[in-house]
Amino acid sequence: MVATKPLQKTDAIIVVGAGIFGLSTALHLGLRGYKNVTVFDRQPYDDTKYEYTAGADSASSDNYKIIRSGYGSEKVYQDLSTEAIQHWNSWNEEILSGECVPDGMTRSDKVFINNGHLSLTDKDDLPEFEKATIQNMEAAGQPNTQLVTTDPGQVDIADRKGLGFAIDPFQRRAKGKGYLGVLDTTGGVAVAHKACRFALHKARLLGVHFVLDPHSGAVESFCYDAGGKVNGVQMKDGKKRHASKVVVACGGWTPSILPVLDGICETTAGSVILIKIPPDSALYERLAPERFPSWAWNMRDGKLGGLYGFPRDENGYLKIGYRGTKYTNPKVQEDGKERSVPVTRYTAEETITQVPQQAMKVFKSFILEYFPDLAENGIDIELTRLCWYTDSFDNHYVVDNIPGQDSLMVATGGSGHAFKYLPNVGKWVVDIIEGVGVKRDLVKHWRWRTLQSGEKPFNVLQEGSSGPRALRNVEMSTDKDLKLSAQSRL
Ligand SMILES: Cc1cc2nc3c(=O)[nH]c(=O)nc-3n(C[C@H](O)[C@H](O)[C@H](O)COP(=O)(O)OP(=O)(O)OC[C@H]3O[C@@H](n4cnc5c(N)ncnc54)[C@H](O)[C@@H]3O)c2cc1C
């Protein structure tokens, strides 16, 4: 890590990207007393309000995201979750008290719903990951928070916590089917779009300036001083914005703007379906967030597993995601090298409105087994989405200065699990900017690094356009696949 020149509280700081990494960084810069912070994003979030269906196209723009403490043997993220959940609860309190309520939200809105997170398996024994979580949460002084769904004593505890509904939300026991899993009673869902709006509003109240616009908010390149040091950004509207520190938090767009991340991070896509539950359907009440948890199923079982989902949201959308295979979209860039770049229904150059057939098959097979009531009620998939984020080779985030620069920093590599840290990850980013607590394990994990020879990557990166996960090499689903009535098992 390059030694960081101490910043003055009045120095100009630019944050590029208003997803969770950028928002949280800006918020904590404001809380720490920095007076000249500007966040640039090319997405007009004041208009779209971080809602995917309104055109917001970042990983952070969503209806719900999972909040959980369970991290297997990765205690560092478990502890980070514990810290985050305290913040999530106090954010709910700030809204309820009327202390901080963004325009368009009311005091009855919540950004975190503690309806539990259920990790299900179709095996006869719990996966090692869950066993490690149970042990580590107990060791951390949080006993009886990770409850085994088939243990009557633990089911009683869930009942007493008001989370009995989350033990068997797919109602499998009554059908004589397996429902083994672990209910994380500390978890539930983040109401993602509202949480982002809340963080943005809170940062604005602290004096952070936001430029959210496709031209004046879009960063095209970096500006350098005579010594080759980054001293600002060049915007799409031609303007140069100067700063003592530039923090790049562009999510799935980060590796293209910072090619130096080659080998550390790659942009990959998770597949998502949205099913609209009509308000007059009996399922509408059953799937309400007060009565249905967030869930994951066979999460670490390769391409035939990796599903997760949510209750329906206030607009009736029931979201299910698949990341058994993480897809890529490699394109040759200006330097002649291939890098994966996001492609969605909203991207300018090229659009995509379907998900890969493999993902669709896993969705439908799961729905047939766990959610037969959807097809029985004539409910089909309404919308599909590819959601892009950055995977790092070791699944840890990357929060550090770019080698050779002390004014250019990156905060990315969310690797599909960073949303839950919206309230607190920025505190860590600002610590890193200030050189505070650099010996903490997480800070060390997030340092600039490369895959060492002989090291087995957690995520295999950069297989290129001939790789099996490249979208151009996979069969895509079609509109016909949106029908749930025409389902088949894998
Ligand atoms: C399908 C899916 C499901 C997930 N589920 C969960 C979950 O349940 N729980 C959880 O904790 N995490 C989850 N994650 C992970 C989480 O969503 C991400 O880790 C997190 O949102 C990433 O935030 P970010 O700020 O890095 O990127 P983003 O949210 O993508 O934000 C990047 C921002 O940078 C902006 N930008 C890009 N380029 C430029 C430029 N040149 N100029 C200006 N602005 C620019 C973009 O417009 C965007 O607003 C999920 C991710 C995906 C894809």
pLDDT at 486: 56
Average pLDDT of every residue of the chain: 95
Alpha-carbon distance 399 to 401, whole Å?
Answer: 7
Report yes or no: 117 and 294 within 8 Å, Cβ to Cβ: yes
CB distance 249 to 17 below 8 Å: yes
Give pLDDT, residue 2. Answer: 45
| pLDDT at position 90 | 98
Domain ranges of the chain: 13-64+192-263+393-445, 265-392+466-482
Q: What is the CATH number of domain 265-392+466-482?
A: 3.30.9.10
Q: For residue range 84-97, list pLDDT tens digits in order.
A: 999 999 999 999 99
Give yes or no for residue 1 having a pLDDT over 60: no
How far, in Å, CA of 481 to CA of 389, rounded? 25
Candidate from 20, 250, 273, 396 with most ligand 1 atoms within 8 A of CB, to mutate: 250
* pLDDT on residue 6: 87
Which CATH number does 13-64+192-263+393-445 carry? Answer: 3.50.50.60
Ligand 1 nearest atom to the CA of residue 61, by list position:
29
Q: What digits encode the pLDDT tens for the residues 118-159?
A: 999 999 999 999 999 999 999 999 999 999 999 999 999 999
Determine the distance separating the centroid of ligand 1 and the alpha carbon of 489, expressed in angstroms: 32
Spacing, Cα 312 to ligand 1 middle (Å)? 21
Please choose, from the candidates 389, 433, 427, the residue with its C-alpha nearest in 3D space to the C-alpha of residue 409: 433
Evaluate if residue 212 carries a pLDDT over 80: yes
55 CA → ligand 1 middle, Å: 14
Please give the pLDDT value at position 490.
Answer: 52
Nearest to 23 by CA among 448, 414, 425, 402: 425
pLDDT of residue 4: 53
Dist. CA 400–CA 2, nearest whole Å: 9
420 Cβ below 6 A of ligand 1? yes
pLDDT in tens, 261-286: 999 999 999 999 999 999 999 999 99
Shortest-distance atom of ligand 1 to CA 23: 25
pTM given for the model: 0.97
Q: Which atom number of ligand 1 is nearest to the Cα of residue 270? A: 1
User: Contact, 14 vs 38, CB < 8 A?
Assistant: yes
Q: Is the CB of 416 under 6 A from ligand 1?
A: yes
* 146-200 tens-digit pLDDT: 999 999 999 999 999 999 999 999 999 999 999 999 999 999 999 999 999 999 9
- 346 and 270 in contact (C-beta within 8 Å)? no
Gap between the Cα atoms of 138 and 156, Å rounded? 18
Question: Ligand 1 atom closest to Cα of 250?
Answer: 34
Asked if residue 41 has its Cβ within 6 Å of ligand 1, the reply is yes
